[in-house]
Structure 1
């Protein structure tokens, strides 16, 4: 393999994607691996995983590495991983939280990045360059608008209506019963308590389909999730982030105009900031970061 190459890496979450490119940014090939137990690894453990992925392709170190890392939720954590990866690979490396890859993928001024996929998180920077984070707390207490957040809130609305009226008439219940293999709402809740959260997060398309068809519970879950996502970005701005625009990505917001339109309207009203929904692979932003390192040499 040509030794003059760079690599962008989108690491963690559900998978790790490595994009090999020329120093000018032209993609040569990609490799995708399951993320495995990424979130529980130490920085040196994560670096060892990424190093192994690189060496499986070539023993020649890249000119530069750009890494967007799931779970790096502070500048200190990003720096610890950067140091470990650079030691492991021998290549100049920059590391950001994976949500910051959206800003790099769509250049254009101070930006908040909003990831809305299986989970959700908002990120931005202060004028001094410090990173700020909001959300990303996981399926149990946070991640509004995400796949598992949307399913969780939709089922909560179903439960509230059942307790209030003693009946289950919302059209969302039928597809959820089919997913859970049950006959009553308690079977849906029981399945969610029993199954890994990533599994019932896969029910999100049924919730969105039901919302678009007029299900009160599904529609309430989707719209409230969108409003909370706007709130995360507004929180960052209130904490000192510079937000002139918002770039969103992730499987949920990229695929569902109902969600994207509600978020765009809220951002316009709350911050006067336009929303760009990036439907490409965020690893493109990691390649952009690697190109920046080459340009500095």
Structure 2
């Protein structure tokens, strides 16, 4: 490939799609989106092969990047990211950086410090200490965590419906909508429906609209679940602050929190109460912009 001293490549590998953007100076060279099927972040060699193939697929013939930065879904620890980075560097032969995809949010917004908070199917918050050490909290999956994400909200909604059933209360709007969403006949059957999911996060998460619809229809239980989800998201930021991460700016992204005003409002109100100096900032650009900024930073 022909060398370029300023061609930078940023890649955002999400749970469902990957977005590659390449710039040469200020000029767009490639803006390419494809499914992220085949992405295997727990196999560094396979992940590097996948990324290299994506770069070759997206860049014009003969173009060679000068730096590559990647935000990868399910890159959960610095060690894992470093293994992928080393394998990618060996393949492409230029400076490379690999981080978790939530770490793209702060640089995408043009900030050099702050918190990236994602609440989509799952939830996670990331930041860096003043010495640059990355810190991640949350992101423990739908069974054990991901409070405030769509899958976690559905889990907690089912728990609320079961608790009301145990108290002898008739099914309210939340219970009725969950029953309909999961295609079961009564509240006790929700347990088997949740446990039989092949892909827990995806299958639970797709029923989150039922929780928000129930809240809009007047369900007190659904409103409590959403409020608790917002408080849980704010608590992730508090944990980062307690560990020494600067939290003045909190960049918020994710298909659930940004699409549901009730959840975003509950999060923002809780954040204001817990950390009055922290400012929530909904992400208004593509996360891949953060990967491009990181690629420029390693030139």
| TM-score for both structures, normalised by structure 1 | 0.90
Relative to structure 1, the CA distance from residue 221 to residue 43 in structure 2 (aligned partners, 3 Å threshold; closer, same or farther) is same
Structure richer in helix, relative to its length: 1
SS at match of 1:148: helix
Counterparts of 1:161 and 1:25 in 2: how far apart (Å)?
A: 58
Q: Find the counterpart in structure 2 of residue 16 from structure 1.
A: 18
Counterparts of 2:94 and 2:196 in 1: how far apart (Å)?
A: 44
Relative to structure 1, the CA distance from residue 133 to residue 25 in structure 2 (aligned partners, 3 Å threshold; closer, same or farther) is farther
2:228 aligns with one of 224, 229, 246: 224
Q: Find the counterpart in structure 2 of residue 291 from structure 1.
A: 296
Equivalent positions of 1:166-205 (< 5 A) are: 166-168=169-171, 170-195=172-197, 196-197=199-200, 198-205=202-209
Equivalent positions of 1:11-50 (< 5 A) are: 11-24=13-26, 26=28, 28-36=30-38, 38-39=40-41, 41-50=42-51
**Alignment size in residue pairs:** 292
| TM-score for both structures, normalised by structure 2 | 0.90
Q: Find the counterpart in structure 2 of residue 137 from structure 1.
A: 140
Stretch moving more, 57-66 or 259-268 = 57-66
SS at match of 2:116: strand
Counterparts of 1:111 and 1:142 in 2: how far apart (Å)?
A: 23
Q: Kindly report structure 1 stretches of 4+ aligned residues shifted beyond 4 Å.
A: 1-4
SS at match of 1:182: coil
Q: Find the counterpart in structure 1 of residue 79 from structure 2.
A: 76
Gaps spanning 5+ residues in structure 2: where?
A: none
CA contact 1:61–1:91 (8 Å) conserved in 2: no
| Residue 80 (structure 1) shift | 1.9
1:266 aligns with one of 267, 270, 275: 270
Relative to structure 1, the CA distance from residue 27 to residue 202 in structure 2 (aligned partners, 3 Å threshold; closer, same or farther) is farther
Counterparts of 1:186 and 1:19 in 2: how far apart (Å)?
A: 48
SS at match of 2:256: helix
| Residue 277 (structure 1) shift | 0.9
SS at match of 1:173: helix
Equivalent positions of 1:19-168 (< 5 A) are: 19-24=21-26, 26=28, 28-36=30-38, 38-39=40-41, 41-58=42-59, 60-168=63-171
Gaps spanning 5+ residues in structure 1: where?
A: none
Confirm or deny that 1:278 pairs with 2:283: yes
Equivalent positions of 1:240-251 (< 5 A) are: 240-251=244-255
> What RMSD, in angstroms, separates the aligned Cα atoms of the two structures?
2.1
